Amino acid sequence: MVNYNFEQLLKETYDDLSARGLETSRADWLLQDISGMSRTDILMHYKEEVPQPLIDQFLILRERMYDGEPVQYIVGFAEFYGRKFELNKDVLIPRTETEELVFQTLSTITKQNSVLCDIGTGSGAIAISLKKEMPTLDVIATDISNEALVVAKSNANLHKADIHFMQGDALQPLIDKGIKVDVLVSNPPYISYEEQIQMTDTVLNYEPHLALFAEDDGLYIYKSLLAKLDQVMDTGGLVIFEIGHLQGDVLKTFIAQHYRVDGLKIITDINQKNRMIQFNWISE
């Protein structure tokens, strides 16, 4: 049996993470998540002994963290838009930047009883957050992965969110059912396969590649969605895509050259990086 106070436990873990080239902040996240304590709580008890059951749990789980496994997968959940979402390796970890997609959508919707569809829902974080923040929305969420939909449905039950889930590739489930939507949002796979060499092992070894990578320099999913938008949207329908920060100008030019849209614009995130592209569809 090993005894630690909070300071000793964290310092030892910081040193071990640094030696492995991993961010020391992972130790804080893991301890906070499994203890239910805030960072402030831990600091207030910094010199106090850590309860033995918590030490035992932390020491076991930190070995997975040392291997590079993301803390969110270790503890089985992630925070998104003020809520906890269950996770496993079948779904992408929702990013803080994607909260801005939710905020932008909520800020732009003009008809609160709109039919909204989230394409490639993954954990369901976007669709569920939108439904909880604007309960009058009629929300549909699609994903090509049945395994991802299992996670999304569990999260919808957890948050008591009435979402209609559909399995299939991109817009095809809507097309097959003849469904038209007023708002379409998506955070699709948009990383090119060539960019793998720039990515960390933590992402490459643990997060689902189906949710990360796309052909055509990461633009394939956007182009496939655009090609079929006329089958699911009427004139005036709102479209918001999350994008890679280097894709904005290329995608904006492609849309402007090939489709009739209104209000086409790139939206930057809190770090002033291109994060979203937005437009209103004009039916052909």
- Residues making up the annotated binding site for substrate are 187-190
R_g of the chain computed on alpha carbons: 21
Read off the DSSP letter of residue 231: G
Q: What are phi and psi of 129, to 5 degrees?
A: -60, -45
Annotated binding site: 120-124, 143, 187-190
CA distance 261 to 46: 57
CA distance 156 to 86: 10
Give how far Cα 97 sits from Cα of 102, 104, 111, 205, 276, Å.
10, 11, 25, 22, 10
Annotated binding site for S-adenosyl-L-methionine: 120-124, 143, 187
Written as six digits, the tokens of 97 are 């930047």
- Dihedral over Cα of 218, 220, 226, 228: its sign: negative
CA distance 31 to 40: 12
Which candidate, 107, 149, 146, places its Cα nearest to that of 128?
149
CA distance 225 to 120: 11
CA distance 236 to 229: 12
